[in-house]
Amino acid sequence: MLRSSQYILVRYIILALWMKYKNCMLIYVAGIQVINRVFILNSN
């Protein structure tokens, strides 16, 4: 019982870290797109 609960806890921690990393990647990609648009507008 203890091992299975620890396994579930580890799965939740991994899932939380993955969601956090995924959100950071989405923000990073969105930031790159905004910067590229600013550079395109400034070059024109």
The string of pLDDT tens digits covering residues 4-39 is 888 899 999 999 988 888 888 888 999 999 999 988
The letter for the amino acid at 42 is N
The letter for the amino acid at 19 is M
Look at residue 1 and tell me whether its pLDDT is greater than 80.
Answer: no
d(CA 34, CA 42): 12
pTM of the model: 0.47
d(CA 22, CA 5): 25
d(CA 29, CA 24): 9
Q: Which residues of 6-15 are buried (b: 16+ CB within 10 A; e: fewer)?
A: eeeeeeeeee
